Amino acid sequence: MENKLRIYNTLTRKVEQFIPNEEGKVAMYTCGPTVYHFAHIGNLRSYIMEDLLEKTLRYMGYDVKRVMNITDVGHLSSDADTGEDKMLKGAKREHKTVMEIAKFYTDAFFADCGDLNIKTPDVVEPATNCIPEFIHMIEGLMEKGFAYESGGNIYFDTSKLKEYYVLSNHSEEELLVGVREDVDEDENKRNKTDFVLWFTKSKFEDQELKWESPWGTGYPGWHIECSCISMKHLGEYMDIHCGGVDNIFPHHTNEIAQSEAYLGHKWCNYWFHVHHLNDKAGKMSKSKGEFLTVSLLKEKGYDPRVYRLYCLQSHYRKPLEFSFEALDNAVAAFDKLTKRIGSLRKDEGAVEPEKFDAWKARFQAVLCDDLNSSMALTVLYDMLKEDMSDATKDALAEDFDRVLSLDLTTAYAQKESENGVDAELEAYVLERIEERKAAKKARDFARADEIRAQLLEKGIVLEDTREGVKWKKA
């Protein structure tokens, strides 16, 4: 591991060298989707960039264990524990049970991830699988004096902490504005930043899923699930925790509060946050009604991998504004790039190990620079222009694709076979066209004519046009 990853850490607000707790191993956690609706392409921007992070770590040689929850209970329509449970809202909308909704949208989420070449985390755990663990942790917090019962619910007492706002330096008022969309101030709270660990008697009497607990029948709050599920699978120390920037407050702030209060020591060292995908009206969100999904992109004829490329073209720490115009540019870039790579003559020459290593090091270096994915693409383009064997280029493209996951070496052949064109034949024809061009340049017109005749024998007709040489089957 020669190149060392440097990554922006929300906790320290700077780009830092990434040093995991255990050498060579990374314990990674990602906040999973709330499965009451389809994921929109904004949510999926976060998952694409987190996938890039995981694959970069693996590319660097780390043994990564990545865990993700599925939020199927407890996430209310305002992140500040007010409003209706999102799952219940989804179930009512579709006249189904909460569990039916959860299953349907969990499957839909992983189908989208499949289309975007996002790897499934090593462990995926729905919140409803872990109720005993949540209860156990809440009991621990009660015993340590960090939680209290009020109005039938159990709350975390943020006033017991030395510092609550560890992840952000904004003022309390500013932060609370963001989560106040449909706030009814909860009068049971002792401090306004306290949050619910367990709901029992509350205004959500019609909650479909309820469990017995020492405090009465009820259901868990949203934040407790991520602390518990990560500890269940990764233990008491975690290296890196991911999510979109909207998770910084209150969700991740509350996760840190309860986890460190419970454990009595620092819990997670690096916090990785992906900035939002916005549309012209602002942040894309599920609750705003109309939103863009992968299925919709597919219906409109877009290959989902084009959206992945679109995301990779910008840095994860910059907001990204979505437009179909920009996506169309990514379509052209994807087609050109995969065609260029698909037309490489794999068996032309041997792989040149020194060149291979040098380009690999360049690629790794830009990724290690706080995941500079647009520069990683530039390295790929530059590599394709380098004077070296096609075999080397093909091997490098395949290697880079372990991280980029754009199917760089296969997308073109796949497309051509779908369109009924033989990619091998096309690669051969393009090679002969290049040869003919070189012959003409050298004023060897006899050779140029010979190539044209040879192609004709194979049923290929060349046409010299103003835009260059075109070919078709005779």
Interface region with ligand AMP, contact rule CB under 6 A, candidates 43-51, 124-132, 200-208, 459-467: 43-51
Subset of residues 191 to 250 that bind Zn ion, contact rule: CB under 5 A? 226
Q: CB-wise, 277 or 403, nearer to ligand AMP?
A: 277
Burial class of residue 104 in the structure, from the number of CB atoms within 10 Å of its CB (0-12 exposed, 13-18 middle, 19+ buried): middle
Subset of residues 265 to 304 that bind ligand AMP, contact rule: CB under 6 A? 274, 276-277, 283-286
For the bound state, the minimum distance from the C-beta of residue 283 to ligand AMP, rounded and expressed in Å, comes to 5
Tokens 């994921």 identify what position?
39
Q: CB of 148 within 8 A of CB of 190? A: yes
User: Coil, strand, or helix at residue 196?
Assistant: strand
For the bound state, the minimum distance from the C-beta of residue 151 to Zn ion, rounded and expressed in Å, comes to 25
d(CA 364, CA 46): 21
Q: CB-wise, 242 or 366, nearer to ligand AMP?
A: 242
User: Residue 413 binds which entry of ligand AMP, Zn ion, none, with Cβ cut-offs from 5 to 8 Å by kind?
Assistant: none
106-114 CB contacts, 8 Å cutoff, 24+ apart: 106/33, 106/35, 106/70, 106/72, 108/38, 108/39, 109/33, 109/35, 109/38, 109/39, 112/38, 112/39, 112/44, 112/293, 112/294, 112/295, 112/304, 113/44, 113/47
For residue 250, is the peptide bond before it cis, meaning its omega torsion is within 30 degrees of 0? yes
- Amino acid identity, position 38: F
Compute how many residues bind Zn ion; rule: CB under 5 A. Answer: 2
Q: Would you list the DSSP string of 340-404?
A: HHHTS-TTSS---HHHHHHHHHHHHHHHHBT--HHHHHHHHHHHHHSSS-HHHHHHHHHHHHHHH
Compute how many residues bind ligand AMP; rule: CB under 6 A. Answer: 19
Q: Where is 59: in which H helix or E strand?
A: helix 41-59
Chosen residue from 9, 10, 46, 128 binding ligand AMP by CB under 6 A: 46
Subset of residues 275 to 334 that bind Zn ion, contact rule: CB under 5 A? none
Q: CB-wise, 272 or 363, nearer to Zn ion?
A: 272
Burial class of residue 287 in the structure, from the number of CB atoms within 10 Å of its CB (0-12 exposed, 13-18 middle, 19+ buried): middle
Q: Does 43 bind ligand AMP (CB under 6 A)?
A: yes
Subset of residues 16 to 35 that bind Zn ion, contact rule: CB under 5 A? 31
Chosen residue from 20, 42, 250, 304 binding ligand AMP by CB under 6 A: 42
Chosen residue from 244, 250, 304, 342 binding ligand AMP by CB under 6 A: 244
Subset of residues 303 to 332 that bind ligand AMP, contact rule: CB under 6 A? none
Q: Does 226 bind ligand AMP (CB under 6 A)?
A: no
For the bound state, the minimum distance from the C-beta of residue 473 to ligand AMP, rounded and expressed in Å, comes to 45
User: Coil, strand, or helix at residue 12?
Assistant: coil
Q: Does 250 bind ligand AMP (CB under 6 A)?
A: no
Binding site for ligand AMP (CB under 6 A): 31, 33-34, 42-43, 45-46, 71, 243-244, 246-247, 274, 276-277, 283-286
Binding site for Zn ion (CB under 5 A): 31, 226
